[in-house]
Amino acid sequence: MKLSKDELLADIEQQGSTKKRPPKVAPPTKRGYKSILSLWQDFALRIDQPALVPSAGYMKSFFKMLAIEHKGMLGPRLSLNTLCPYVTRLATAYKHEHDIEIPQRVVGEVKDWIKTDLKDLLALSSKARPKPMADSQDLEVLIRYLWVEDKHSFRNQLDRVKLHFFLLCLAYTVSRPGAVVVSDSYRNSNEAMKYRDLKFHLTRDVEGGPPQMSLTVTFKLMKGDRDEEDEFVTITLWEDRAYPHLCPIMPFLTLAYEHDAFDIKPEELFCATLDRSVVEVPLKDEVLDMPLFRAADGTAAWTYAASYRALTALAYRAGYRCQVTSYAIRRGAANILEKSATWAETGILMGHKNAKVLQARYVNKHVGVDLQSLFHKRTAKTDRLRPLRSLAAEHFPGAPCDLRGTDLHQKLRKHPKYIERRQEWQDLKQSAASAALVKAAKTKMNVELARLRRVETKKLREDWIKTDGLRYLRMQRQDNAAQELSKELNDYTLPPWRATVTEMLFEASDQSQEGRLVLLRNLRDLSKVKFVRATCCPLHSKEIFSAIATEFIIHRNTSACISIVFAAENLLRTKSLLFAICMKFTHKYFF
């Protein structure tokens, strides 16, 4: 199609009269702009100059106000590491919003003033937030705890598999969590890793063994380049037959089959033979636009906030004193890349266009060089530095996670603040208040109790940690009988559905295709195990409850349930009581 002269002239006239559009910015940047401009507008109104344009003098007064009136995360005032970037943000935001450019000379002058005069005047700190780094040992500790020791009850046991795969995915791809799950910066967008970004392959084994399984992941949600189709990173993950708990393929297959992503059956997959070097196993078209990591509803994508809570809670229960986030794992992977990959490769994998970002934000400042040995021309013993550079020194296995099992757990119900909230709730119940007000009062009461318990748990945990070193020293002097007693008291019996999986993950000697197929089946069977509150039937023990629930949910076999209960007769006093519990349980809660 060829445009006419009139059309060309009309277009030229239109383009000349079109107002210049501001440059496009990402949602998180927009929120930052809105925040700083709101603060500036508030400052301008307070001095009766609503149309105030930033200048050096006014900007200095503005940032002095911020430093005095706003509390920092690490101290009583905002730090230099917060205020100086705010100067650049204000200048950029004002240019974007009003198309008025603040000279770089002014920006530099204000920054220098903050770093010198304002710093001395208000005793501002340049302290940065701690950036913990998790290494391979920390990853193994978390995964082992998740399966072997964790007493937490997931509402869906496949959430345990999901968290397992999430940890491995972060470690093996050095990706930002926002490239895997829904980023908080793009909340409500449901943008996350999808099946369309994955390719599953079978590759011929060069040694003549079963085909090697691999998962190729393409990360398209790159920071700052989400709208750029040519900005992506592709990484391939391989199965690990020697260490099943560190294998990313098995948890992926568990989730994929739960989502009905393959046409091929697991038996066909594990028994396949190849007539060429590599074969792609196709995914169903209907799942390509569905997320891999999903929320509780089974359709929406898992969010960063939810994954953050799951990971930090797991690390907390495992006994880590510091907060372990997905970025701690990313830093650990980044420090490995820094030593073993070129800058170009590291920059592509991490999504950095500037080498200074890696050095400033990710490289561990606890140097991993045994200079003491090298100085004397001895063999460097860098391995002994590992626990000091990672989270090992912050790990206190057995640290209390809550108050359950202590007298304080119930005593807090007598706390004045809780009693006050409870009285408000009871008064509303007895009055003519609406159901919504009564419910809100009850929620406030429960929130207050939870807050009190968190505060006391933190105190209990810190007191426990402070004496932890001495406790370990004393343990070395205990006799064998005392050690056995301590082990018995701290022993935790795994539910039957986890015991089988755990044994195959951590103690498996069968690395055959048949053995791995059995592991996949057991992982998939976790979806049949539903969360049931232990308070449903208060007369029986946890062991009996677990046995009954598992057998009945999987097989719906009442006689088998009864036989299991009778086999555990030593847990209660009489067989008749066991039988009554079993019958009451099965009829009331399953029929």
Residue 237, φ and ψ in degrees, nearest 5 = -105, 140
> pLDDT class for 107, splitting at 50, 70, 90?
very high
**What pLDDT is recorded for position 128?**
80
**What pLDDT is recorded for position 76?**
87
Structure tokens at 197: 């970004």
**What pLDDT is recorded for position 467?**
81
Output the CA angle 478-384-479, nearest 5 degrees.
5
Helix %, strand %, coil % for the chain, to 5?
60, 5, 35
CA separation for the pair 399, 493 (Å, rounded): 18
Does residue 280 sit in helix, strand or coil? strand
The closest alpha carbon to 391, from 139, 88, 22, 167, belongs to 139
Structure tokens at 316: 């907390």
> pLDDT class for 340, splitting at 50, 70, 90?
confident
* Radius of gyration of the chain, Cα coordinates, nearest whole angstrom: 30
The residues, ordered by sequence, that sit 6+ positions from 168 with a Cβ below 8 Å of its Cβ are: 139, 143, 237, 246, 247, 248, 251
CA separation for the pair 390, 138 (Å, rounded): 8
70 DSSP assignment: S
The residues, ordered by sequence, that sit 6+ positions from 217 with a Cβ below 8 Å of its Cβ are: 169, 173, 193, 197, 198, 234, 235, 236, 237
On whether the CB atoms of residues 142 and 155 are closer than 8 A, the answer is no
**What pLDDT is recorded for position 359?**
76
Residue 421 has pLDDT above 90, yes or no: yes
> pLDDT class for 552, splitting at 50, 70, 90?
low
Report the half-sphere exposure of 214 (CA within 13 A, side-chain side).
Answer: 18
Does residue 286 sit in helix, strand or coil? helix
CB environment 461-498: b (16+ within 10 A), e (fewer): beeebeebeeeeeeeeeeeeeeeeeeeeeeeeebbbbb
Residue 250 has pLDDT above 70, yes or no: yes
**Mean of the pLDDT values across residues 445-450?**
94
Does residue 1 sit in helix, strand or coil? coil
Per DSSP, the chain holds a count of helices (H) and strands (E) of 26, 4
CA separation for the pair 141, 138 (Å, rounded): 5
Residue 445 has pLDDT above 50, yes or no: yes
Does residue 247 sit in helix, strand or coil? coil
Q: Give percent of the chain with pLDDT exceeding 70.
A: 83
What pLDDT, in 10s, does the model give residues 514-548? 888 988 988 888 877 765 444 433 334 445 555 55
N-term to C-term CA, the chain: 72
On whether the CB atoms of residues 331 and 131 are closer than 8 A, the answer is yes
CA 152 from centre of chain: 16
| Side chain identity, residue 351 | G
DSSP 430-483: HTT--HHHHHHHHHHHHHHHHHHHHHHHHHHHHHHHHTHHHHHHHHHTS-HHHH
Of 120-124, 264-268, 338-342, the one with minimum mean pLDDT is: 338-342
| Side chain identity, residue 259 | H
What pLDDT, in 10s, does the model give residues 46-98? 999 998 999 999 999 999 999 999 988 888 888 998 999 999 999 999 998 88
**Mean of the pLDDT values across residues 339-358?**
80
Plot region of 174 (φ>0 → left; ψ -120 to 50 → alpha; else → beta): left
What pLDDT, in 10s, does the model give residues 487-497? 544 556 787 77
Q: Is 11 exposed, middle or buried (0-12, 13-18, 19+ CB in 10 A)?
A: exposed
What residues form DSSP beta bridges with 199?
Answer: 216
| Side chain identity, residue 201 | H
Length of the chain, in residues: 591
CA separation for the pair 355, 339 (Å, rounded): 14
CA separation for the pair 22, 38 (Å, rounded): 19
**What pLDDT is recorded for position 261?**
95
On whether the CB atoms of residues 152 and 138 are closer than 8 A, the answer is no
What residues form DSSP beta bridges with 300?
Answer: none
> pLDDT class for 550, splitting at 50, 70, 90?
low
User: CA torsion sign, 233 to 238 to 244 to 249?
Assistant: positive
CA separation for the pair 205, 211 (Å, rounded): 5
Q: What is the reported pTM?
A: 0.80
What pLDDT, in 10s, does the model give residues 136-169? 999 999 999 999 999 888 888 899 999 999 999 9
Of 83-87, 232-236, 403-407, 434-438, the one with minimum mean pLDDT is: 403-407
**Mean of the pLDDT values across residues 211-237?**
87
